[in-house]
Amino acid sequence: MKPQLLLHICCAPCATHVVELLGLDFEVYGFFYNPNIHPEEEYRRRLEAMRRHGKAVGLKWEEGPYEPGRWFSFVEGYEEEPEGGARCPICYRLRLEEAARRAAEVGFGYFATTLTVGPTKKAGVINPIGRELGFKYGLTFVGGDFKKEDGFKHSVRLSRKFGLYRQDYCGCIFSLNGLSGRSAGVRPANPDLARSGARVGHSLGFHLFL
């Protein structure tokens, strides 16, 4: 019997490759927790892609609470940081800690994240955070640089195979505004308005998808 692993999923396209890879050694359960995603319509779009993929491959997974207000409180003071700067590790830690807490709560011994599939996501930043949280919660963090050995390219191929929505920015309002600076027709969002309109959490508890 394979050991159980809780996989933090940042989005369905990144999950494709990692679920396939980790499934060779673990019984993988997904955990979609991403309070950074802005706006809410984008969050719902990515959540629907996750539902579609989970159903297609028979993955058991759950949605954590959508808490943009909590996310804004964590990154307060780092609004002017560039994408990939000091704000990003704070975001990683928030999401990975929620995954570690959930893994410990349900009695799993292992957890991991899909984040390092992304070509701009640095395994050297993400994996130490995962190992630190694993120690804190009595878990083993299964780290890796999942973009390597054509992992990212494989995720793109699988996403096309399953017809999954692929986003063109990381998720937060600041990465969205970075996209607006590079793409014609994309209007920048106002972080102050987004922060004031952010609810603490949209879901009361967890939703399990089988």
In degrees to the nearest 10, what's the CA dihedral of 174, 179, 181, 185?
-120
- At 148, list the tokens: 């390597």
Query: Does residue 80 or residue 10 have the better pLDDT?
Result: 10
Tokens representing 9?
A: 């999923």
The angle subtended at Cα 9 by Cα 105 and Cα 27, nearest 5°, is 60
In this structure, what token pair is assigned to residue 95? 């999401």
Higher pLDDT, residue 208 or 204: 208
End-to-end CA distance of the chain: 20
How far is residue 147's CA from residue 143's CA, in Å, rounded to a whole number? 12
> Phi, psi (5° rounding) for residue 165?
-65, 130
pLDDT beyond 80 at 187: no
**pTM for the model:** 0.87
- Arithmetic mean of pLDDT over the chain: 88
Please check the confidence at residue 206 and state whether its pLDDT lies above 60: no
Express each pLDDT in 6-50 by its tens digit: 999 999 999 999 999 999 999 999 999 999 999 999 999 999 999
Helix or strand (DSSP H, E) at 7:
strand 4-9
Kindly report, residue by residue over 129-174, the tens digit of the pLDDT: 999 999 999 999 999 999 999 999 999 999 999 999 998 888 899 8
What is the gyration radius of the CA atoms in the chain, in angstroms? Answer: 16
Tell me the CB-side half-sphere exposure of residue 145, using CA atoms within 13 A: 10
3-state secondary structure of 112: strand
- Domains of the chain (ranges, CATH numbers): 4-209 (3.40.50.620)
Tokens of 24: 């060779």
